Structure 1
Amino acid sequence: MFRMTVRCLLLVVICGVFTTPSNAADAYSLVEDYTNPREFAVTVEMKVTGKMQASAGDKKTAINMKLNANAELDYDERRLPPAGRDSRALRCVRYYRSAHANIQVDGQTTLPRLRQKNKLIVAEGQPNGVRYHSPERPLYFTELQLLGAPGDSLAVLALLPSRDVEIGESWKLEDWTAQFFTSLEAVEKGGIECTAKSLENDLLQVHFAGELTGAIYGAFTTVTVDGDFWFDVKNHYVTKMELKQSEKRTIGVVSQGLDVEAQVTMNRTLKSGEKSLSDESLAGVPLEPNPANLLIAFDSNAWNVRFFHDRLWHLYKHERDAAAFRLVDHGSFLAQCKIAPLKSAKPGKHLSEDRFLKDIQTTLGDQFHGVTSVEQVKGKAVDGEEGRYIYRVETFGKIGDHEVTWIHYLIAAPDGRQIALIFTVGKDVQEKFEGRDLQLATSVEFLPVANSAQQAAEPTQADRTK
């Protein structure tokens, strides 16, 4: 009898150790395996409302402009192996069926879209958000803005916890995750917290919310997020996200002020049948970034001119007779570049060097103190354009109390078309700027005038300040 009782007690203990009580909470893994070569079909719908602020002529007051925008993205995506830790561990390749937007600012409408020849895009994590590039050619600035909508399907993966979680459990995101998800260049304070809310039909709903203050393009910015995503615990992937994100940004050296709210819905489903991102279709495609495909292309259909610049240059203003770019590195303003077409010369001719020097002195006026150097630059041949003429003049002077270097370029095509560039650089940042003018100037291409009608069908750069 005693032995039987002990045996029964041992059986109860053993069952108690290895059997989960009926009222114990289950823990769920929210990990999406990047090694699985499966593809996802993704759709994103975004609506933005609010206002944009621009500096008035006196630079002391702001002009408020009503902003409304709608965007739709439709693409397939497949995860790629990590390129590093934290945000750099998140990478994917995408095939875009379509990407377009309708943006209205004070009654003026722009219609950015992704060009058909840029359907294949690589998205990869960087500390300040998702970076996009085409393996085949540089993107337009407007294309990068379109692809970089809040709530990217790659960015949401950063919200997933690295450990199993129970229903009702909360976790705070690491600093790098919150910065990456909100695309802030630097975070001063704040954070995002997630909570596993409920489980229904194998879909675990997670709520996330928070506020961060920091900087974008050097402008003080506050971002608030409030949303939910759903994770399929059976098939292990994020299947949906709904996000409300507000942003308040002061007027900066390269960006307008913003006070906007974006509502985003992202749906993501497993693809079956024919795949657009199979091993065979990606064979031979260079998925790793390189300096060439990370450049940004600028086309002016009115001038029939194209050039390429790195991503630290930001299009600040684009009008029919001129465009202005500003260079910002880690939030610091380094330089400005103004580009304008000149009156065409006769074929085989260009503005004389003496006349160009006189025009420089006339333009700078009392700010001009002298000439540092002059030279004819031999740039690379572009589409057989061996005859491009590139003349570089470096001058110095003062704007107020600030010592300044100006770098001027006269660039002419064999058919007589001409364009002028002027870089303005403070003397205190000249070492950081060294050589950046040459990269941009020598990339200038004069497009065939006969193709201007065809080029007009391509999306133009923004016709207003951003």
Structure 2
Amino acid sequence: MLLILAVCNLPVFAAEKIELAEPETDARVKLVRSHVQVSGQLQTAAGGGKKISLKLSADAQYRFFERRLNGAGRDAETLRSVRLYRFANNEAEVTPADAPAGAAPKKSTLKLPETKHLIVAHGRREGAMLYSPTATLTYDQLDLISTPGDSLSVLSLLPREGIAAGDSWKPETWAVQMLCGVEAMTKGEITCKLEEADASSARVTFTGSSEGATLGAPTTVQLTGEFTFDRVAKLMTRVQMKQTETRAIGAAKPGLEVTASVTLERSLADENSEAKLLSDAAVADLPVEPAAEMQFLRFESWGTRFYHDRDWHQFHQTNDVAVLRLVEHGSLLAQVNVSPIPPAAAGSHTSAEQFQTDIRQSLGKRLKSITKAESLKPRNANDRRFLFRVAVDGEADGVPMTWFYHLCAAPNGQQVSFVFAVETKNLEKFNNRDLSLVRLLEFIPARQAAK
């Protein structure tokens, strides 16, 4: 009894507070492995208010070296890194939801080419902005490496101050938005809890949700998971996360009802490995803020390529046409259809008169008038392309429209057309952006295109 009283009278100390932080100036190179499995449904508009549902399953795996870079600002912009990808592969299967049992799915595989292996991740509220400082990514390549549970974004979960076992904290709103990847978040919260810790490691669980819009489409995201932190190495070493996203059909993207299961593993890289390719000298010239051209995406097909900013989204492509849509601040601003034209004889092209005749036949009763037809000036003395632009006013389904038709031809007779469609009321916002896109068109020599 006396012993019990003695023990009860001992002073009671508060639980030890510990730090769970990776230094912002941490220049160590990490080896990152990520496995993302996605399942659920896509929805596309079928007209008349109907939609088509497609079953989706995808399995993506990544391995890359990564090191932190100095921040570019406050909040999300404190997070920057450079990555050297050694493996990036996504295998997906899509099947109509109403397909009979045993129907063969449509399979696709995406890989990151050798020339796109160096990637910079730049923290933004809406998620990590990824670009290559050495080569221009395509839309599909950017989509491949943009994943839930991004290794830079998960660092936003770490607490800003010391915590004790059993304590909970809520990351700031920018961290919630960055991790959930919602472009315009209206509401969101994540709660983290330090479940257990010893001298060497700590385990944290987290759960949360966000609401808002992505590319103008209403979006909700729910996530739950846990991560392990190595207290000795000061390193988040493992993340397991499940993220469920529901997104309405948008102007540039299909609707989503999908769940992603993410396993992320991070370890300190062997200094004698390829990690040395991310040395101080190797990353010294990376800009704090990337130039606009570094963020461009590349479209390449039919022996042509052009470059565009990220407000243009690849909506659909077949063997005969590619459709890109321009979305700004969540609203559809314009659409462009890019199509190959039968080649002309070398040194020739479809005549301006014939092109305008084709336009009249294509638009039919929708056409009111051709307001301007002009040849565009070459970029320089070596530019031998023929570029011809026709501006047309008309109406579609009672809506005043303006179309910009472009005939583009190479000296060898190769030809392609661009048809931009803009609601007339949006012409000022559109600001002749068709010109900047078409002027960047290149015709690829046959041998280069075959690579």
Q: Shorter-chain TM-score category? A: over 0.9
Question: Partner amino acid for 2:293?
Answer: A
C-alpha distance in structure 1 between counterparts of 2:206 and 2:316, whole Å? 37
Q: Which residue in 2 is equivalent to 1:148?
A: 146
Deviation readout 1:407-449 (Å, 9 max, x if unpaired): 1100000000100101111122211110311111111111112
C-alpha distance in structure 2 between counterparts of 1:31 and 1:269, whole Å? 15
> What pairs with 1:291-370 in structure 2 (closer than 5 Å)?
291-300=292-301, 303-370=302-369
Q: Does the alignment pair 1:34 with 2:59?
A: no
CA contact (8 A) 1:88 1:126 kept: yes
User: Residues 282 and 375 of structure 1: is their aligned pair in 2 closer, same or farther, counting only changes over 3 Å?
Assistant: same
Deviation at 1:282, TM superposition (A): 2.8
User: Residues 165 and 123 of structure 1: is their aligned pair in 2 closer, same or farther, counting only changes over 3 Å?
Assistant: same
Q: Which residue in 1 is equivalent to 2:266?
A: 268
> What pairs with 1:95-106 in structure 2 (closer than 5 Å)?
95-106=84-95
Instruction: Name which of 166, 169, 183 aligns with 1:168.
Output: 166
Question: Partner amino acid for 2:305?
Answer: R
Deviation readout 1:241-275 (Å, 9 max, x if unpaired): 00000111111111111111110000001123222
C-alpha distance in structure 2 between counterparts of 1:159 and 1:353, whole Å? 59
SS in 2 for 1:429: helix
SS in 2 for 1:111: strand
Q: Which residue in 2 is equivalent to 1:394?
A: 391
CA contact (8 A) 1:122 1:287 kept: no
SS in 2 for 1:363: helix
Normalising by the residue count of structure 1, what TM-score does the alignment of the two structures yield? 0.89
C-alpha distance in structure 2 between counterparts of 1:430 and 1:21, whole Å? 75
Instruction: Name which of 67, 72, 79 aligns with 1:78.
Output: 67
Q: Which residue in 1 is equivalent to 2:186?
A: 188
SS in 2 for 1:29: coil
Deviation at 1:276, TM superposition (A): 2.4
C-alpha distance in structure 2 between counterparts of 1:172 and 1:260, whole Å? 25
> What pairs with 1:1-150 in structure 2 (closer than 5 Å)?
23-56=13-46, 58-106=47-95, 107-150=105-148
C-alpha distance in structure 1 between counterparts of 2:37 and 2:417, whole Å? 39
Q: Which residue in 2 is equivalent to 1:5?
A: none
Q: Which residue in 2 is equivalent to 1:197?
A: 195
C-alpha distance in structure 2 between counterparts of 1:171 and 1:109, whole Å? 42
C-alpha distance in structure 1 between counterparts of 2:249 and 2:447, whole Å? 41
Deviation at 1:378, TM superposition (A): 2.1
SS in 2 for 1:431: helix
> What pairs with 1:443-462 in structure 2 (closer than 5 Å)?
443-454=440-451
Deviation at 1:34, TM superposition (A): 2.1
Deviation at 1:313, TM superposition (A): 0.3
Deviation readout 1:174-209 (Å, 9 max, x if unpaired): 221111111101122231111111114622111111
Deviation at 1:24, TM superposition (A): 2.7
C-alpha distance in structure 1 between counterparts of 2:432 and 2:118, whole Å? 32
Structure 1, unaligned runs of 5 or more: 1-19, 455-466
Question: Partner amino acid for 1:433?
Answer: F
C-alpha distance in structure 2 between counterparts of 1:287 and 1:109, whole Å? 39
SS in 2 for 1:328: strand
Q: Which residue in 2 is equivalent to 1:211?
A: 209
Q: Which residue in 2 is equivalent to 1:458?
A: none
Deviation at 1:370, TM superposition (A): 0.9
Normalising by the residue count of structure 2, what TM-score does the alignment of the two structures yield? 0.92
C-alpha distance in structure 2 between counterparts of 1:378 and 1:189, whole Å? 49
CA contact (8 A) 2:61 2:90 kept: yes
> What pairs with 1:201-240 in structure 2 (closer than 5 Å)?
202-240=200-238
User: Residues 238 and 151 of structure 1: is their aligned pair in 2 closer, same or farther, counting only changes over 3 Å?
Assistant: same
> What pairs with 1:241-252 in structure 2 (closer than 5 Å)?
241-252=239-250
Q: Does the alignment pair 1:377 with 2:376?
A: yes
Q: Which residue in 2 is equivalent to 1:278?
A: 279
Task: Give identity over the alignment, percent.
Answer: 38
C-alpha distance in structure 1 between counterparts of 2:258 and 2:327, whole Å? 23
Q: Does the alignment pair 1:415 with 2:405?
A: no
C-alpha distance in structure 2 between counterparts of 1:35 and 1:131, whole Å? 20
C-alpha distance in structure 2 between counterparts of 1:110 and 1:422, whole Å? 28
